[in-house]
């Protein structure tokens, strides 16, 4: 089937074809005709399957007729994180380029004032994270009684993040005559309950994972002699170096936000092209980092699970698991960032003696008996774990690279005398020694607990607190979708 056989209104079809797509993906082929017929859709699909277009295309088709009234958006898309919401907005811009649809994006980290101005003018498409949407609603700036179509994207992520009560509340504020398009990668009981309550005779469409992980991803582990973080950082550098030319770009996953920062700083100090992304960083920084990574201008993205969830980042050659994930499902999500669309990928995980239980859970979840071990020779006997970069060290690209498993006999490490860490490294080491106050192995949990504290500060909980506040639009750097700067876009 081709897009021109779906019965799309001509301008919508032209927008899709201009994006370079001819053939709908399986989820699009199944969901678009049902959505065009006005039915509710329950889509079971994950990122990478083309699900975003599966709901944006029929929405553009439907919204092409009619006009928005002040404060009464005609459609609503709920997404769990700011980045996902921004991705959905980009999708509307792309496929809706021949329409004059107005949009507003309600996410944390962007000023209320500008968002309110957009709402007051009236929007066809409102894209929001649940907390920020309810903040606007409670301020009386928004009516949801004009919603014709509503999308809930990544519902199972919303569940993980404690947003289900908000989703129920929002659904209750919209008219029951609305069309609901509901997407989730998995269907836990709680999600099934919501769909039974709020969807009306939905068409159920389901696609399997985009790629069988085992086929395209080479999975490896490094068995660490002890669970020392400085040693883990030195080992990470070694496996990155060993990846050599094969490493086009990689994501390093850590369990804690604090470790994300420490690992990113440490890599930078050693001359690697690395930047952190997690929920406590300012929105501007997060968006710029992500865009740089997508554009191939940043080689290593150091991430927490929540920050990386659902992000559409094509062609990642390597995933490095600095920590064994506490939740074994996260292992599958993490390594699923590589080896996409039939391409080859490599996933390397550092496993310490403290990780026994979690590692066993990973084996169970993946159905693997064991994971191939990387031979680092006498690395652990010779390594200098000091975080102080060695003097006169060349830039990473100029460094000699060894093949995986080849002994480098700790060449660089041995050359530098084991030394006490310098001032910077010492303070870093000190901070490592501090009690793990932020035991947010799972940021989602933290968000869930912020949530349970009640309504105040709601806007800050969608994806971690926003660091920048104020009246200016903050948070998108140079890569901000045009409509955010204008509050409203009339794509011509
Ligand atoms: P999603 O699952 O929505 O995150 O989409 C995954 C990727 O597939 C995005 O980069 C889309 O631009 C791309 N994509 C979506 N639909 C199609 C299509 N019909 N043909 C080719 N690529 C597509």
Architecture of the domain spanning 217-428: 3-Layer(aba) Sandwich (3.40)
Q: How confident is the model at residue 390 (pLDDT cuts 50, 70, 90)?
A: low
- Please say whether the structural domain 3-206 has been given the CATH code 1.10.10.10: no
Label residue 388 by pLDDT band (50, 70, 90).
Answer: low
314 CA closest ligand 1 atom index:
10
Q: What is the pLDDT of residues 250-295, one digit of tens each?
A: 999 999 999 999 999 999 999 999 999 987 888 788 888 988 998 8
Q: Is the pTM of this model over 0.85?
A: no
Candidate from 19-33, 241-255, 345-359, 437-451 with smallest mean pLDDT? 437-451
pLDDT in tens, 151-186: 999 998 898 888 999 999 999 999 999 999 999 988
Q: Is 320 exposed, middle or buried (0-12, 13-18, 19+ CB in 10 A)?
A: buried
Pocket residues for ligand 1 (CB within 6 Å)? 21, 23-25, 28, 47-53, 312
Give the pLDDT confidence score for residue 437 in this predicted structure: 25
pLDDT at 422: 33
- Domain 3-206 matches domain 217-428 at the CATH topology level: yes
- pLDDT tens string 177-215: 999 999 998 888 999 999 999 999 999 999 865 434 556
Instruction: Reply yes or no on whether the pLDDT at 342 is more than 60.
Output: yes
State residue 214's pLDDT score. Answer: 52
Q: Whose CA is nearest to atom 20 of ligand 1?
A: 21
Domain segments of the chain as ranges: 3-206, 217-428
Q: Which of 8, 26, 53 has most ligand 1 atoms within 8 Å of its beta carbon, as the pocket-test mutant?
A: 53
Mutate to test the pocket of ligand 1, among 47, 50, 314 (most ligand atoms within 8 A of CB): 50
pLDDT tens-place string over residues 230-260: 999 999 999 999 999 999 999 999 999 999 9
Q: Answer yes or no: is pLDDT of 444 > 80.
A: no
């Amino acid at each position: 089937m081709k897009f021109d056989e779906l019965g799309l209104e001509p301008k919508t079809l032209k927008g899709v074809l201009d994006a370079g797509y001819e053939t709908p993906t399986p989820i699009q082929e199944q969901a678009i005709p049902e959505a065009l017929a006005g039915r509710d859709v329950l889509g079971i699909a994950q990122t990478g399957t083309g699900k975003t277009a599966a709901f944006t295309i029929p929405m553009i088709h439907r919204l092409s007729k009619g006009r928005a009234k002040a404060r009464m958006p005609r459609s609503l898309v709920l997404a769990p994180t700011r980045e996902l919401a921004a991705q959905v907005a980009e999708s509307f811009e792309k496929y809706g380029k021949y329409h004059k649809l107005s949009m507003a994006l309600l996410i944390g980290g962007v000023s209320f004032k500008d968002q309110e101005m957009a709402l007051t003018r009236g929007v066809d498409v409102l894209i929001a994270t649940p907390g920020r949407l309810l903040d606007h609603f409670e301020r009386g700036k928004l009516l949801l009684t004009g919603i014709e179509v509503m999308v809930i994207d990544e519902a199972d992520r919303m569940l993980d993040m404690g947003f289900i009560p908000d989703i129920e509340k929002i659904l209750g504020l919209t008219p029951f005559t609305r069309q609901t398009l509901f997407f989730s990668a998995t269907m836990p009981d709680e999600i099934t309950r919501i769909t039974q309550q709020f969807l009306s005779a939905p068409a159920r469409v389901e696609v399997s994972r985009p790629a069988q992980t085992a086929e395209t991803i080479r999975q490896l582990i490094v068995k660490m002699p002890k669970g020392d973080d400085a040693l883990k950082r030195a080992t990470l550098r070694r496996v990155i170096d060993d990846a050599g030319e094969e490493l086009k770009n990689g994501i390093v996953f850590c369990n804690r936000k604090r470790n994300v920062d420490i690992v990113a700083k440490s890599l930078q100090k050693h001359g690697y092209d690395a930047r952190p992304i997690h929920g406590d960083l300012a929105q501007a920084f997060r968006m710029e980092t992500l865009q740089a990574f997508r554009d191939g201008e940043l080689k290593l993205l150091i991430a927490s699970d929540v920050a990386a969830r659902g992000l559409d980042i094509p062609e990642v050659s390597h995933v490095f698991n600095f920590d064994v994930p506490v939740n074994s499902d996260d292992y599958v999500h993490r390594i699923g960032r590589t080896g996409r669309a039939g391409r080859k990928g490599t996933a390397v995980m550092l496993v310490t003696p403290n990780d026994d239980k979690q590692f066993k859970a990973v084996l169970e979840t993946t159905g693997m008996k064991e994971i191939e071990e990387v031979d680092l020779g006498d690395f652990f006997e010779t390594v200098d774990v000091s975080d102080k970069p060695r003097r006169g060290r060349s830039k990473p690209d100029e460094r000699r690279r060894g093949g995986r498993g080849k002994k480098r006999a700790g060449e660089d490490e041995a050359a530098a005398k084991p030394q006490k860490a310098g001032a910077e490294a010492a303070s870093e080491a000190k901070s490592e020694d501090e009690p793990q106050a932020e035991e947010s192995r799972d940021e989602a949990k933290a968000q869930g607990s912020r949530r349970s504290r009640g309504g105040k500060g709601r806007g800050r909980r969608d994806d971690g607190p926003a660091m920048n506040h104020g009246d200016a639009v903050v948070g998108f750097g140079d890569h901000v979708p045009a409509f955010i700067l204008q509050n409203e876009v009339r794509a011509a």
